[in-house]
Amino acid sequence: MSVRKVEITRIRSDGSTETLEDSVAADVAVCIFVDGEFYRTLIASPGMLEELVVGHLYTEGVVSSHTDIADLVVQPERVDVSLRNPVNLFEMTMGKSRLLTTACAASPRIRPGSVRRVQPVVDLDDALIHGVVDELNRLSMVFRETGGTHSALIHHWDDGVVAFAEDVGRHNALDKVIGRCLLDGVDLNRCVLASSGRLAGEMVLKAAAAGIPVVCSVSAPLASGISIAEEAGIRLVGFVRGHRMNLYA
C-alpha cells in the first residue's frame, strides 16, 4: 500500500487539540542484488518495483537495454536481478552511495562530451507542455491525499500518456516511468517527460540517458540541470504553472 492511515493530534493556534486519522505516504527500503551481489538500497514507495529497478539500472548505466536483464525477481523489499552478461559493480558504484534516500540520487560523474545527445525537437507546441503538466497534476492522487510524494509522467507525441508514477523520491518516480516505457518498447525519442520535482543534474542526466528530448517541471531547475540539458540538447522547461513557463535550455 502506498498510503498508510495514522492517528495524529492536531494542535491549533489557540492551543486546542483534536485526535483524528490522517494519511501518510509509505516508504520502504528496496535492496537490489545483481547476480547475487549487493548493488544498492533505494528508499522508495512500495509498488512498481520492477519498473523502478529496470529504469534505475538503465539510467545508471548498469544495463544498456532492458533485454540485458535475463531475470528479475521481486520480493518484499528485495529485488534480485540476473544479467545476461556480467558487469563490474565495484567500478560502477565507486565513489557513489550504496544507500539512496528520498532526497538524493547517485552523484553523476560527468566528463565533457560524455553526456548522450538526444534527437533534436524540430517543432513543439507550448500548449502540449501545459497539457502534459496538467495531466501530471490530475493523476497525482497520492500527493493530493498525503502531500508526501513526487510524480513523473511520460507523454508520447502520438500515443499520449504512456507511463505515470508517484514515489516518495523524485528520482524513483522518474526511474519508474522510464522502466515502464522500456518494458513496453516505447520510443522515448518522441516523448516529453514531466516531473513535479526540481530538475537537478542527475534528473536531467537520467532523461538524457533514456533519449528523452523534452523535460518539464512545475518546479525549478538547478544550474547542473541546465548545463546537462545544454550538452544533451534537451529542451528544459521549468515553472510550468497556470499560463506561463520558463525555457532554460
Q: What domains sit in the chain, N to C, each tagged with a CATH number?
A: 28-100 (3.10.20.10), 126-247 (3.40.140.10)
Q: What integer is the mean pLDDT of 187-207?
A: 96
Q: How far apart are CA 38 and CA 15, in angstroms?
A: 50
Average pLDDT over residues 16-30: 95
Average pLDDT score, the chain: 91
User: What's the rounded mean pLDDT across residues 210-225?
Assistant: 96
pLDDT score, position 180: 98
Identify whether 104 is a catalytic site residue.
Answer: yes
- Measure the CA–CA gap between 61 and 35, rounded to whole angstroms: 16
In the predicted structure, residue 17 carries a pLDDT above the cut 90: yes
pLDDT reading at 98 higher than 80: no
Give the list of residues 6+ apart from residue 164 with CB closer than 8 angstroms, or none: 136, 139, 151, 152, 153, 154, 177
CA–chain centroid gap for 2, Å, is: 16
* Entry pTM: 0.92
Q: What confidence score (pLDDT) does residue 97 get?
A: 60
In 10 A of CB 223, how many CB atoms? Answer: 10
Predicted pLDDT of residue 89: 83
For residues 195 and 150, is the Cβ–Cβ distance under 8 A?
A: yes
3-state secondary structure of 14: coil
Measured in residues, the chain has a length of 249
Quick: pLDDT tens for 60-81.
Answer: 999 999 999 999 999 988 999 9
- pLDDT, tens digit (0-9, with 9 covering 90-100), for 24-46: 999 999 999 999 999 999 999 99
More confident of the two residues 132 and 95: 132
Q: Who's near 69: CB < 8 A, 6+ residues apart?
A: 54, 57, 63, 81, 82, 83, 84
Residue 95 pLDDT: 53
pLDDT at 102: 61
Three-state secondary structure call for residue 146:
helix
Residue among 174, 40, 176 nearest 96 (CA): 40
pLDDT (average), residues 124-138: 94
CA dist., res. 157 & res. 225, Å (int): 23
Annotated catalytic residue, options 31, 104, 191, 216: 104
